[in-house]
Amino acid sequence: MTPWVTRLLVANVLTYLLVQPGTLPYALLTLFPPAVVGLDQVYFPGVPFRPWTLFTYMFLHAGFMHILFNMVGLFFFGPRLEARLGAKGFLGLYFLSGLGGGAFSFVFSFGAPVVGASAAVYGVLIGFAMYWPREPIYIYGVLPVQARWLATFLVVVSLYSGISGSGGGTAHFAHLGGLAVGAAFLRWRDWNTGKGRREFQRKLHQTPSMEGSERDVRRRWASIDLSSMHTLNRNEVEELLARVDREGMRALSPEERQFLDRMSGG
C-alpha cells in the first residue's frame, strides 16, 4: 500500500459510515446541479450551485456494493500508479478525474444527482491501462483480461449506457468523464515531463546553420578551404555540398549540418 491510496481508502470508508443516504448531510454533499435540490421532504430552494459538492460527492456512496467495488478498484490499481506518478501526480489524476466526472454529468446528464468515487477510480484504471496495457486483470479472480481491453470495454459500456439511458441509477457519464479527463491529464503530464528532454535534444542538435538566411549559410559553406583537408573529410564535404545544390539544405540531417558548420568554422 502507498500513502495516498491508504488515506483515500480510509476517507471514503469513514465518510460512508458517518454520512448515510437519506440524511441532510448526504443531501448537502451530493453533486446535484439543478437550482432546486430535493431529498424526500427536505428542500433547498434558491441555491443555484454548491461548488464544494464537486469534491464532496466523490466520498459519498449509495450503498455497500457501491463503495466495495470502488474501493477494490482503488486498492488494486492505485498503489502501482501512485508509485509511478508520485503523490502529486497521483492526486492530480484522482481528483481531476473526479472533477471530470462531475463536469460530464452536469453537461450530459443534467438533473441527476451524482455520488461516488467511480469517476476518480475510473481515472486510476485508465492510467493503469495506459502504463501497463498488457497487464492481466482477473475478473472475479478467475477470467484474465488485459488492462487495455478492460478499459476499452468500460469506455464502450459507459458511452452506450449513457446515451441509451440504460442502467438507471448509475452515473455512466460520470464514469466516462473520469476516463476521458484521466487519460487527457496523463497525456499532458507525460508531454510536459518530456519537455525538458526535448529542449535538451533541440539544443544538442542546434547548429549555427539554423540561424540566419539560407543564402548566407550556403556562402559560408562554399568558402570551406578544401585544399587543406584530409581526403576523407574533403570527399564528405564535396558530397554534402553537391546534395545541397541538388536538393536544398532540408536534405541534410542535423549531424551533417553540424559537420559542415565545423568545417567552415561556424
Q: What is the pLDDT of residues 37-73, one digit of tens each?
A: 444 444 454 444 678 888 999 999 988 988 998 898 8
DSSP state string for 110-178 = TT--B-SSHHHHHHHHHHHHHHSTT-EEEETTTEEEEHHHHHHHHHHHHHHHHHHT-STT--HHHHHHH
Say what the pTM is.
Answer: 0.68
Co-location of 66 and 24 in the same domain:
yes
**Which residue in 81, 88, 112, 114 sits closest to 100, CA to CA?**
114
Co-location of 37 and 141 in the same domain:
yes
Q: How do 143-146 and 136-139 pair as beta strands? A: antiparallel
> Which of the four pLDDT bands, split at 50, 70 and 90, describes residue 266?
low
C-beta of residue 100 within 8 angstroms of C-beta of residue 180: yes
Residue 26 within any structural domain of the chain: yes
Total count of domains within the chain: 2
Residue range 131-155, pLDDT digits in tens: 998 888 877 667 888 888 887 877 7
The pLDDT of residue 21 is above 80: yes
Co-location of 235 and 117 in the same domain:
no
Residue 198 within any structural domain of the chain: no
The pLDDT of residue 165 is above 80: no
**pLDDT, position 160:** 56
Co-location of 174 and 221 in the same domain:
no
**Which residue in 54, 34, 36 sits closest to 109, CA to CA?**
34
**Which residue in 118, 8, 101 sits closest to 63, CA to CA?**
118
- For residue 225, give the H/E element and its range: none
Co-location of 180 and 216 in the same domain:
no
- What span, in angstroms and rounded, lies between the C-alpha atoms of 191 and 141? 35
DSSP 50: -
Residue 204 within any structural domain of the chain: no
Co-location of 186 and 217 in the same domain:
no
What mean pLDDT value characterizes the chain? 79
CA distances from 123 to 5, 129, 213, 260 (A): 14, 10, 49, 50
C-beta of residue 257 within 8 angstroms of C-beta of residue 207: yes
Co-location of 48 and 170 in the same domain:
yes
Domain housing 126: 3-193
Residue 107 three-state SS:
helix
The pLDDT of residue 13 is above 50: yes
- C-alpha grid cell, residue 81: 500508479
- C-alpha grid cell, residue 235: 570527399
Residue range 32-46, pLDDT digits in tens: 754 444 444 444 544
Question: Which residue matches cell numbers 437550482?
Answer: 35
- What span, in angstroms and rounded, lies between the C-alpha atoms of 161 and 168? 9
